[in-house]
Homo-oligomer: A and B are copies of this chain.
Amino acid sequence: MTAAEKTFLSHPFDDDKLKEECGIFGAIGLADAANFVALGLHALQHRGQEAGGIVAHDPQKGFNSAHRFGYVRDNFTKASLMESLPGPLAIGHVRYSTAGSKAAVIRDIQPFFGEFSMGGCAVAHNGNLTNAESLRRELIEHGAIFQSGSDSECIIHLMARSFQKTHADRIADALRRVEGAFSVIAMTRTKLIGVRDPLGVRPLVMGRLGDQGYVLASETCALDIIGAEFVREIAPGEMVVIQDGKIESSRPFHPATPRFCIFEHVYFSRPDSQIGGRSVYETRHQIGVELAREAPVEADLVCPVPDSGTPAAIGYSHESGIPFALGITRNQYMGRTFIEPTEHIRNMGVRLKLNVNKSLVRGKRVVLVDDSVVRGTTSRKIKEMILDAGAAEVHFRIASPPTAWPCFYGVDTPDRGKLLAARMSEDEMRDWIGVTSLKFISLDGLYRAAGEAAGRNAACPQYCDACFSGDYPVAPSDQIGKGFEMKAAE
């Protein structure tokens, strides 16, 4: 990888967010399925902006694939490329970066492909395997040649060593050996396969299009873009095998109590996606309502930190009666990052992306609603910008509880030591950021906003909320092996 390519991977202006690591999409029974996959991945681009890949199968032309750095729209819209991906069956993947890899290389881009004695199979994985490192060591000792630094490649090697006769059975075999979070879409020459881990940490939904067409996707917004009808969510622990317009469902794993990732509601999923029959936008709006109840303040304006804080800010405004306004404008021509930027550009930071509407906020008491605080560095910069513009008071309201623990289930989080909430109390954070007041929604408030009227069930939480609570539903065994300390039992 060249220096320029390396720079492409750094995120100097957007490093203060948790990052979903993947979006996946598959289609079967549709002419030129790869086109539908490209559109689905475009709708899922927020789940992974670094790179994307598509594998397609055509009865005449066999398996074809393309893996590219950059946005879906810049790669998978060109006729010349899409014509090289013919056939009625295709799957795809967009990624931010995988846990096991230090630097991005083209070989790390999914879907992964393996040639087995019963034919080829491609696999796309959203999530993270918490025992990938020990599995990898074990597989290498038994002759596996790994081509990528991705934990997901273990799945293909475990399949290769399974004694099962069908691809689906080999996938089940392989996934029984892994720990962690996974939603998987796979394809053979004739089948589209979807699997979700027993806890259902990562989302996976099914849609229908036309007579024989079925699609699998991380979120419902990817069904909308192609005009597919939402059928249902794949259940935690379920495997579906789709062929010739028929769906076979099975449960290859031991049953478990579901623990869907609550951060999908807070930030990862698109606001126009539906989760559990409920719009993500509504949940976020409701978080704002709960936040206004839990942490009211006298102020003149409620302004979102663009763009993710907007629904909660509208909810806060609605509940509090304080007028909603776009006090901060986002430059819509800001791309993901810069290749080989000048020093001058590098130092501009958040200013390249955000600008405060001076005449709007001057002299005002402003409530700023953001979705989360990770390192806190961006919060400080935004506070500076808004005070420079003449705001009288700045009240930060955060639409999630303090992020105090790293995620090991497919989300890119800093080391625990870099999480502001792991090092400081709420008051210390307020002083460090330098705002008039700072309040986070409570864990119970968040659960209520997500539809759990009674709040969090501490004995048996309805969601995975490890990043807030430190309560990890699957022990991160590789991390523990490297010295990570779990929260002490209370």
- Where the two chains meet, the residues of A that have a C-beta atom closer than 8 Å to any C-beta of B are 1-4, 6, 32, 35, 38-39, 42-43, 45-46, 49, 64, 66, 71-74, 77-84, 106, 114-117, 137, 140-147, 156-157, 160-161, 221, 224-225, 227, 270-272, 274, 277-279, 281-282, 285, 307, 310-311, 314, 318, 323-326, 329, 331-335, 338-345, 348, 351-352, 355-360
Write 15 A-B pairs (CB below 8 A) sorted by A numbering: A35-B344, A39-B352, A79-B342, A79-B343, A116-B140, A117-B140, A143-B161, A144-B144, A145-B147, A145-B157, A221-B355, A224-B358, A270-B355, A271-B326, A272-B355
With A78-B341, A79-B342, A115-B146 as known contacts, state yes or no: A331 contacts B160, CB within 8 Å. Answer: no
Q: How far is the CA of A340 from the CA of B326 in the complex (A)?
A: 36
| B270 near A329: Cβ-Cβ < 8 Å | yes
Point out the residues of chain B lying under 8 angstroms from A144, CB to CB.
143-145, 160
Q: How far is the CA of A115 from the CA of B144 in the complex (A)?
A: 9
Point out the residues of chain B lying under 8 angstroms from A142, CB to CB.
143
| B334 near A73: Cβ-Cβ < 8 Å | yes
| A345 near B35: Cβ-Cβ < 8 Å | yes
* Best-surrounded residue of A2, A3, A71 (most CB of chain B within 10 A): A2
* Best-surrounded residue of A83, A116, A143, A147 (most CB of chain B within 10 A): A143
Point out the residues of chain B lying under 8 angstroms from A39, CB to CB.
344-345, 348, 352
Contact partner, A357, options B157, B281, B307, Cβ 8 Å: B281
| B314 near A324: Cβ-Cβ < 8 Å | yes
CB distance from A399 to the nearest CB of B (A): 15
CB distance from A33 to the nearest CB of B (A): 11
| A272 near B143: Cβ-Cβ < 8 Å | no
Point out the residues of chain B lying under 8 angstroms from A357, CB to CB.
271-272, 279, 281
CB distance from A304 to the nearest CB of B (A): 10
Point out the residues of chain B lying under 8 angstroms from A146, CB to CB.
115
| B160 near A333: Cβ-Cβ < 8 Å | no
CB distance from A303 to the nearest CB of B (A): 11
| B311 near A326: Cβ-Cβ < 8 Å | yes
Point out the residues of chain B lying under 8 angstroms from A157, CB to CB.
143, 145
Q: How far is the CA of A318 from the CA of B281 in the complex (A)?
A: 20
| B314 near A325: Cβ-Cβ < 8 Å | yes
| A331 near B43: Cβ-Cβ < 8 Å | yes
Q: How far is the CA of A84 from the CA of B3 in the complex (A)?
A: 7
Q: How far is the CA of A78 from the CA of B117 in the complex (A)?
A: 42
CB distance from A342 to the nearest CB of B (A): 5
| A2 near B80: Cβ-Cβ < 8 Å | yes
| B279 near A359: Cβ-Cβ < 8 Å | yes
With A71-B335, A160-B145 as known contacts, state yes or no: A285 contacts B325, CB within 8 Å. Answer: yes
CB distance from A3 to the nearest CB of B (A): 5
Q: How far is the CA of A161 from the CA of B355 in the complex (A)?
A: 44
Q: How far is the CA of A272 from the CA of B325 in the complex (A)?
A: 12
| B331 near A45: Cβ-Cβ < 8 Å | yes
| A140 near B161: Cβ-Cβ < 8 Å | no
Q: How far is the CA of A318 from the CA of B282 in the complex (A)?
A: 20
Q: How far is the CA of A357 from the CA of B277 in the complex (A)?
A: 12
| A35 near B77: Cβ-Cβ < 8 Å | no
Q: Which residue of B lies closest to A333 (CB)?
A: B45
| A145 near B272: Cβ-Cβ < 8 Å | no
Q: How far is the CA of A2 from the CA of B80 in the complex (A)?
A: 6
| A115 near B81: Cβ-Cβ < 8 Å | no
| B225 near A355: Cβ-Cβ < 8 Å | yes
Point out the residues of chain B lying under 8 angstroms from A82, CB to CB.
342, 344
| B83 near A274: Cβ-Cβ < 8 Å | no
Point out the residues of chain B lying under 8 angstroms from A221, CB to CB.
329, 355
CB distance from A210 to the nearest CB of B (A): 14
| B333 near A42: Cβ-Cβ < 8 Å | yes
Q: Which residue of B lies closest to A336 (CB)?
A: B333
Q: Which residue of B lies closest to A385 (CB)?
A: B224
| B331 near A42: Cβ-Cβ < 8 Å | yes
CB distance from A73 to the nearest CB of B (A): 5
Given contacts A145-B145, A271-B357, 7 further A-B contacts (CB under 8 A): A1-B64, A6-B84, A77-B338, A140-B160, A224-B351, A272-B329, A278-B359
Q: How far is the CA of A11 from the CA of B352 in the complex (A)?
A: 25
Point out the residues of chain B lying under 8 angstroms from A339, CB to CB.
77-78
| B359 near A282: Cβ-Cβ < 8 Å | yes
Point out the residues of chain B lying under 8 angstroms from A359, CB to CB.
274, 277-279, 282
Q: How far is the CA of A148 from the CA of B195 in the complex (A)?
A: 28
Contact partner, A141, options B35, B117, B325, Cβ 8 Å: B117
